[in-house]
Amino acid sequence: MAETIPAHRPGGLTAAEVAERVADGRTNAFVQDSSRSVWSIVRANVLTLFNAIILACFLVLLAIGRWQDALFGFSAIANAVIGTVQEYRAKRALDKLALLNAPSARVRREGEEVEVAVSEVVLGDTLVLRAGDQVPADAVTTDSHGLQLDESMLTGESDAVEKAPGDRVLSGSIVVGGEGSAVVDRVGADSFANSLAAEAKRFSLVASELRSSINRVLKWVTWFIGPVALLVLNAQMIAQGGWAEASGSGAWRDAAVATIASVVAMVPLGLVLMTSITFAVGAVKLARQQVLVQELPAVEGLARVDLICLDKTGTLTQGDIVFDAAHPLTERPGWQQVLAWYGVQNDANATARSLVGRFTEQPTGAPVDRVAFSSARKWSAVTFGDGMWILGGPEMVFPAGRTSDPVLERLAAEAAELAATGSRTLVLAHGTPTHDETVPADAVPVVLLTFRENIRPDAAETLAYFAAQGVGVRIISGDNPQTVAAIARGVGLDAPHGFDARELPEEQDALIRVLDENIVFGRVTPDQKKRIVVALKTAGHTVAMTGDGVNDALAIKEADIGVAMNSGAAATKAVARLVLLDGKFSHLPSVVAEGRQVIANIERVSMLFLTKTAYATFLAIAFGILLLPFPFLPRQLSVTDGLTIGIPAFFLALLPNAQRYVPGFLRRSLTFAVPAGVVVTVGLAAYARLAANLSIPQAEIRTGSTLILTIIGLWILVVLSRPVTRFKGAVIGAMMIGLVLVYTVPIVRDFLQLVDPTLQTALLVLGTSVLSIALIEVVRFAHRRIAVRDVERALSDRAMRSSDARSRPTAG
């Protein structure tokens, strides 16, 4: 139950009252992590099913005195430690950036308006709310001037809710219009947003193809491990003379070691580690470029984007509105004073603030009434003793269809002409006051105002990059369509005209068609921005949305990847996946490039790890069915896997890679890994069967099997590293040297129980390796053909979606 709050006082709390509440713990100090908690990182890297399997195998080997074969346990520990440390370092880097850019709240204390950290808001504080603010704590409205809140993140209702004195405002909601004040009555964990883990404040998950695909593989392996382990154990006990014989003679220990070797080899521990490290390193690299990644998989997400929606103000332009000129239309005294009044209001937007200095003389009397600016209607109004003054977009204040009037015709012609040059236009009109927030029927335009915006110097280059990369662009803005189109042309877009969003069809298919045929959209309301993003996603696009205003928040939240400018509203940054801290639009290519590096490199190393999982599973099944002794000791597999997969994968995962994203990551990985695993299995099974028929000793069979797996593993590494650059060549060369040392240094060779092969064994090893390598090349050739078809299919699907959208009939 909420604590009773003191009666509202216009001056707010005193310093003593604030100190008392802080001492009592009645503050808003409930801060959820902007990124993963330390415990969640440790849990994700340590407390996993596969680590439990590894630990169980490790303890069994220690219990039976075969610690030499428990090397994989130390490898698993290293994996967990490296993964935890890398993710924790990324968390610290991101949390520092998040702390430096933490949102603040406006409160009134001792008669003064002050800004405090959200956590320093106390029970009974008077919040000062203006457009763009995110409400920091639950409160009751005490004063409202057209105060409108978007509560969609909390209630699911997309329509803005107007608040009157006495109405409740909920933490996490966004002020989208007007201004007002409210007294806080619930703070911290008691507030609505925190009690429901509001979407704007919790660690949520970006849709990640990499993560979901890897989780799917892990689930498959989980189902296989138990039955396969029993199959192998049975084969090994029979190979040791049968269950009774092996149990009595102690040979069951060798059977257990062989079974553990087969089970451990099936677990793709390194793949999970590499994915985590790659995400974390990518996020840290972007943090150094002043890009705050709110969720690590968002790095991957932007690489999948094929269409990016941009708000004009603050994205293509610098957001600094400059007043240009006034163009009088009718004689009406007092308009200069009204503009001066607009410029100094607390809730003045950038456009109104630009009037300060050009118009200085204030009206003599106080305003009688006012209508706050709304993103939906695109105008605001104030009433003085001489009547009602309306300031807004010309076509919004005077929509088409009104009775023909020479002044209105002149207004429309001049506004269109000025908008076509890229100038932003507003009209100041005058009429008889209304009481239902509508434009007076007798309103007449008094003066046409023009404003200029500076185009970002990096905008044209950034858009050219997206064009070259095949990423489509849509400009969706609340400004005049022709003004936006002129600015779009100024940054190199082919935009002969802008589409007026008031004419957007309601029917989804018709909307998709319009979106496909036009690049620039003006007079777009916040709800329409959201509808546009949803429609584009429905059409099969992966959509990014960038913006800085509160009117972009809904669309940014709905997009696959939301990108906010740091100069933007707190609410907009709260729902974005990425925040450009220095506001430089030119960082987006770096983010896309980083995402593409993550996807392309993880796809490459996944084929290494999944090939190992495939051949380990097939080997276990084959040797279990053939009742052959498993041809490896765990220690032999640990060293071989480390030098042919684990260590080189670490370097390959962090190399530059600009390969374009193509859907179907898991399918492509498995189309190489499964056939390659079959090749390795057939080669090793044939070698083991032939060697057993030739009565070659088991120690020599294991040595030969290890040699074959080493040679094939190195060749798979070479195949998946193509084109082999100087750096890749150095990594592969180092691994080859390491493997030579393994076979030649006596202490290492003795530890791994490797013996000198006879000529007969050497010939078998050579023949099996050569044949297997030839088959691996065939697999790679077929795999590349499949990859090319995937690219062609993706391009064809995209073209078909566009064609379908163009061919759909429009509504009505």
Biggest CA–CA distance in the chain, Å, is 112
Residues 6 or more apart whose Cβ sits within 8 Å of residue 88: 38, 41
Closest CA relative to residue 367, chosen from 337, 392, 393: 337
Give φ, ψ of 565 to 5 degrees.
-85, 140
| Count of all residues that appear for the chain in the document | 812
Helix (H) or strand (E) holding 161: strand 161-162
Using only C-alpha atoms, the chain has a radius of gyration, in whole angstroms, of: 34
Closest CA relative to residue 627, chosen from 688, 681, 674: 688
Helix (H) or strand (E) holding 562: strand 561-565
Distance CA 805, CA 798 (A): 11
Burial class (CB in 10 A: 0-12, 13-18, 19+), 8: middle
The two tokens of residue 238 are 């029979």
274-290 b/e (C-beta count within 10 Å ≥ 16 → b): bbbbbbbbbbbbbbeee
Pairing state of beta strands 499-500 and 424-431?
A: unpaired
Phi/psi for 767 (5° steps) reads -65, -45
Which amino acid is located at 692 in the chain? Answer: A
Residue pair 571/133 in contact (Cβ under 8 Å)? The answer is: yes
Cα 321 to Cα 324, 451, 584: the distances in Å are 9, 6, 18
- In SS3 terms, 192-244 reads as HHHHCCCCCCCCCCCCCHHHHHHHHHHHHHHHHHHHHHHHHHHHHHHHCCCHH
548 is a catalytic site residue? no
Nearest-angstrom CA–CA distance, 94 and 569:
20
Catalytic residue (one of 125, 133, 138, 311) = 311
How far apart are the C-alpha atoms of 617 and 267, rounded to whole Å?
Answer: 9
- Give the amino acid at 15: A
As a whole number of angstroms, the distance between CA 619 and CA 57 comes to: 19
Is the bond into 723 cis (omega within 30 degrees of 0)?
yes
| H-run or E-run covering 278 | helix 269-288
- DSSP string for 467-528: HHTT-EEEEE-SS-HHHHHHHHHHTT---SS-EEGGG--SSHHHHHHHHHH-SEEES--HHH
Active site residues: 311
